[in-house]
């Protein structure tokens, strides 16, 4: 069975929408950041401090490859995972990729960035990171879910598209 993969900026709702979609579809939910934290026994900020971004991205690649070998999962990817082509390519080969494309200024204004290593640096840095990642997200997405406001609505749309893909 194919995996359902969610990509997008940090704070766009991947975990919330993913859990709801998994429930609707009767699939297991996995958040790559949570999996990395569980395997490392440390938080993402602690990993960034100890290993830097490159060390964290190496862990992300390992988790991506492992999850790609499984099936029937709803996978919420860390916001930067698609910037590492090897990691997102492994996941894309295992299923259908949905980009939750929420307005970055809205994300920044509504989500606490205090405990997010790459959420530091202020709003302009966050918006610049989005500008850099937008073409990457667009490249890997099979479907783009634009500007959702209700997580349940986005999850319903994603579940319906996923089911249609799996029947094709």
Please state the residue numbers annotated as binding site for Mg(2+). Answer: 15
- What residues form the annotated binding site for substrate? 33, 57, 79, 133
For the chain, what is the largest distance between any 2 Cα atoms, rounded to a whole number of angstroms? 45
CA 162 to mean position of chain CA atoms: 16
Binding residues: 11-16, 33, 57, 79, 116, 133
Whole-angstrom distance, CA of residue 160 vs CA of residue 17:
13
How far is residue 144's CA from residue 99's CA, in Å, rounded to a whole number? 5
**Positions at the binding site for ATP:** 11-16, 116
Please check whether residue 83 is in contact with residue 9, taking contact to mean a CB–CB distance below 8 angstroms.
no
* φ/ψ of residue 77, rounded to 5: -90, 145
């Amino acid at each position: 069975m194919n995996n359902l993969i969610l990509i997008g900026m940090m704070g766009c709702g991947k975990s919330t929408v993913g859990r709801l979609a998994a429930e609707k579809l009767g699939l297991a939910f996995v958040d790559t950041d949570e999996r990395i934290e569980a395997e490392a026994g440390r938080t993402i900020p602690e990993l960034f401090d100890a290993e830097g971004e490159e060390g964290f991205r190496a862990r992300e690649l390992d988790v991506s490859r492992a999850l790609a070998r499984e099936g029937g999962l709803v996978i919420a990817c860390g916001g930067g995972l698609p910037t590492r082509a090897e990691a997102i390519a492994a996941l894309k080969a295992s299923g259908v990729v949905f980009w939750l494309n929420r307005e970055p200024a809205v994300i920044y204004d509504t989500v606490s960035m205090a405990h997010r290593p790459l959420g530091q640096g202020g709003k302009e840095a966050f918006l610049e990171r989005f500008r850099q990642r937008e073409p990457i997200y667009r490249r890997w997405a099979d479907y783009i879910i634009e500007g959702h406001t209700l997580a349940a609505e986005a999850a319903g749309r994603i579940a319906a598209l996923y089911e249609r893909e799996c029947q094709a």
